[in-house]
Amino acid sequence: MCVYMCMCMYVYVCVCVYIYMYVCACLFVCVYVCICMCVYACICIYMYMYIYIHTHIH
């Protein structure tokens, strides 16, 4: 799921930036942002699930 979300974000951001701004550094910036967002999202989802399970398991 995280990988899929990351790829979607990568394509969307890169296409938008490339088409509307024609930035040469688009790919570099996009990959960096994509990886950061993907990792952050994965951590958030993991923590949420961890807390949810531990608060509802009792």
Instruction: Determine the structural domain holding residue 49 and report its residue range.
Output: 2-56
- The reported pLDDT for the residue numbered 37 is 61
For residue 51, is pLDDT > 70? yes
- The reported pLDDT for the residue numbered 56 is 83
Chain centroid to CA 44: how far? 11
- Number of other residues whose CB lies within 10 A of the CB of residue 19: 9
pLDDT category at 28 given cuts 50, 70, 90 is: low
The C-alpha atoms of residue 21 and residue 23 are separated, in whole angstroms, by: 5
**Structural domain count, the chain:** 1
pLDDT higher at 16 or 42: 42
Mapping DSSP to helix (H, G, I), strand (E, B) and coil, where does residue 23 land? coil
- The reported pLDDT for the residue numbered 23 is 45
